[in-house]
Amino acid sequence: MTLSNVDLTNCEREPIHILGSIQSYGYLLAILPDTYSIVHASDNIADLFGISADQILGQPLGSIPAKTDLSVNALVELLNVGRRSGSWDSMNPHQFVINEKAWNLITHQHNGLIILEWEPVGDHNPLRNQQLIAQALTEVQASRTLTDLLQNTAQRVKKIIGFDRVMVYRFEADWHGHVIAEAKEPHLEPYLGLHYPASDIPRQARELYKVNLVRLIADATSTPSRILSQPDWPEDRPLDLTHSVLRAVSPIHIEYLNNMGVQASMSISLLYRGELWGLISCHNTIPRFVDYPARQAAKFVSQLLSTALEFRKDEEDQSNLLLYRQHGQYIHEQLLIDENVVQALTKRSHTILDLTKATGAALLFNNHIYRLGKTPSETDIRALADWLKASDTETFLETSQLAALYPPSEEFRDLGSGLLATVLSKELNEYVFWFKPEQIQQVTWAGNPDKPVTVGENGQERISPRKSFEAWTQTVRNTSEPWSEAEVSAVIKLREDVLQVITKQANEIRVLNQ
């Protein structure tokens, strides 16, 4: 597939690891590991070596003229060490002075070639990076809540790389993502809390971010430099840039960045058990280069977060479970003391509303409806009960898309797009309901939705986070946040407790009547 026939509908098929160019702030050579003969060179290599790509392609490294002050011997020696040890990473970056300017060489071996990439040395201070990392470590240990931890990490990464905006972007099970923490300059509109469809970061891009954990786009306005190959190199073996640091950017993503008013972007992968669970996504309004050591420092901080986060997440899930269990315990005690279901479930200090994260709950008992929090009307609840009675639900029903099962509920989707219901008795028409609102009602568009959008090159804005957010809202109409296992198990336990009390009472009445 060529670039010209990639469009918004087939993003996933764009072969972004073999686009055939690099970002032009750096230079690339690919050589054969045995002879060090140059197989590929970036078109801009003349700026570095004063000799065109055509002149060195197919030649050994030694053909790079001595008039540039690159010491080819030192380079060959370095490559020999790398090749012997097989561990290229430990050599990165290696500083070379070429034409009186310092360059970082980053080397790796992939698909039978050694790939050499030179990029500028920044004015970073290694000591400062170390201090920032040390502070990050302390912070991870000290952060009290998950929100604190995420927020601190965003701030820390912002300090290291100095971008205008740093977000923690988290993927959900369907690969759509949302911004769960953000550190930004005050004049930028917030993206915190916004959701984006999976297609904004297509599958093959996510795959690459699993392998190559830092992605820097230093200048989205620059023209990429083409990668040229030695004359007899087979066309069907383009240079694979999966591990490259200079890989050029998909034109579609460049359009996205333009429409967002972003000229530099950096993403750092957050992995959990080998899977991508998020990105630290950073923006700058003007081009900005982040050098290798600073990128490594930012990566290290992200890895700290990855490790800490799952641990914290488990902790939070666990504490919710305990909390719901505790409320369930109180209600159970009330049931035993009161021997009155309505009283124990709805009138005491702990009620059925405390058992889950629902925003409303209702009890239909003895033909009466008792409502707590934000629920649909009595009429709507009665109709819902009739539908439930006719359905094949015997114990409980859990859905985050009630309207798909019961279309009339669309009328009250702002109160009950999600339903958790448990059957006390179908014969007596007795149920407990928990409601969650449509998720979209809870998600805020943090910016001003009426603000005019920037117009893309072709006269209309095709892609941007704002458009994506709108698209996402369409896909999640009539959907609530999902019910967690902790919520479902609290409800099942409540059902058992209530039925136990009711059965006991029934038995007592039977004994009395004998």
* Residue 221 CB, nearest approach to ligand BLA (Å): 14
Contact segment (CB under 6 A) with ligand BLA among 145-153, 249-257, 346-354, 402-410 equals 249-257
Which residue minimizes CB distance to ligand BLA? 11
- Of residues 124 and 283, the one with the C-beta less far from ligand BLA: 283
- Draw the binding track, 448-487, toward ligand BLA (x: CB under 6 A; -: no contact): ---------------x-x--x-------------------
Site size with ligand BLA, rule: CB under 6 A: 27
- Angle (deg, nearest 10), helices 485-513 and 292-338: 10
SS3 (DSSP) at 67: coil
Find, among 448, 437, 444, 428, the residue nearest to 481 by Cα: 437
Task: Choose which of 256, 292, 433, 472 interacts with ligand BLA (CB under 6 A).
Answer: 256
Would you give the binding string for ligand BLA spanning residues 365-404, x where CB under 6 A is met? ----------------------------------------
Nearer to ligand BLA, 191 or 483 (CB): 191
Integer Cα distance of 168 and 280 in angstroms? 5
Cβ nearer to ligand BLA, comparing 253 with 295: 253
For the CB of residue 13, give the shortest distance to ligand BLA in the complex, in Å.
9
Is 22 one of the binding residues for ligand BLA (CB under 6 A)? no
- Following DSSP, what letter does each residue of 495-509 receive, concatenated? HHHHHHHHHHHHHHH
- Is the N-terminal amide bond of 120 cis, ω within 30° of 0? no
Q: Using the rule CB under 6 A, is 18 a contact of ligand BLA? A: no
Cα–Cα distances in Å, from 398 out to 218, 358, 439, 450, 489?
47, 12, 16, 37, 11
Given strand 165-171, what is the order of strands in its sheet?
A: 195-196, 177-184, 165-171, 275-284, 264-272, 214-217
Give me 203's structure tokens: 């599958």
Determine, following the binding rule CB under 6 A, whether residue 279 of this chain makes contact with ligand BLA.
yes
The piece of 195-203, 318-326, 366-374, 397-405 that touches ligand BLA (CB under 6 A) is: 195-203
Quick check: 196 binds ligand BLA (CB under 6 A)? yes
Among 24, 143, 281, 409, binds ligand BLA (CB under 6 A): 281
Shortest spacing between CB 461 and ligand BLA, in angstroms: 12
**Residue 16 in the binding site for ligand BLA (CB under 6 A):** yes
Compare residues 256 and 365 and give the one whose CB is closer to ligand BLA.
256
Residue from 44, 107, 265, 351 in contact with ligand BLA (CB under 6 A):
265
Total Cβ atoms within 10 A of residue 89: 9
Take residue 325 and report the two structure tokens written for it: 């269990």
Q: Decide if 422 contacts 463 (C-beta within 8 A).
A: no
Cα–Cα distance for residue pair 420/402, rounded to 1 Å: 9
Which of 47-55, 199-207, 226-234, 371-379 is the region at the interface with ligand BLA (rule: CB under 6 A)?
199-207
Length of the chain measured in residues: 514
Q: How far is CA 137 from CA 132, 141, 271, 293, 299, in A?
A: 9, 7, 18, 18, 13
Least distance from C-beta 206 to ligand BLA, angstroms? 9
Q: Which of 39, 105, 201, 424 binds ligand BLA (CB under 6 A)?
A: 201
Q: Which stretch binds ligand BLA (CB under 6 A): 45-53, 136-144, 193-201, 296-304?
A: 193-201
Please select the residue that binds ligand BLA; options are 37, 63, 199, 303, rule is CB under 6 A: 199
User: Whose Cβ is closer to ligand BLA: residue 106's or residue 498's?
Assistant: 106
The type of residue at 150 is: L
Nearby residues of 26 by Cβ (< 8 Å), 6 or more positions away: 42, 117, 118, 119, 120, 245, 246
Q: How far apart are CA 274 and CA 88, in angstroms?
A: 22
Token pair 């702002």 is found at 414
Least distance from ligand BLA to the Cβ atom of residue 481, Å: 20
Which residue, chain included where needed, has tokens 């992939």?
110
Classify the phi-psi angles of 20: left when phi > 0, otherwise alpha if psi is within -120 to 50, otherwise beta.
Answer: left
Q: Nearest approach, Cβ of 250 to ligand BLA (angstroms)? A: 4
Give me the amino acid identity at 217.
I
Minimal distance in Å, beta carbon 268 to ligand BLA? 9
Q: Which stretch binds ligand BLA (CB under 6 A): 69-77, 100-108, 245-253, 488-496?
A: 245-253
d(CA 210, CA 280): 13
* Contact set with ligand BLA (CB under 6 A): 8, 11, 14, 16, 179, 191, 196, 199-202, 205, 215, 217, 249-250, 252-253, 256, 265-267, 279, 281, 463, 465, 468
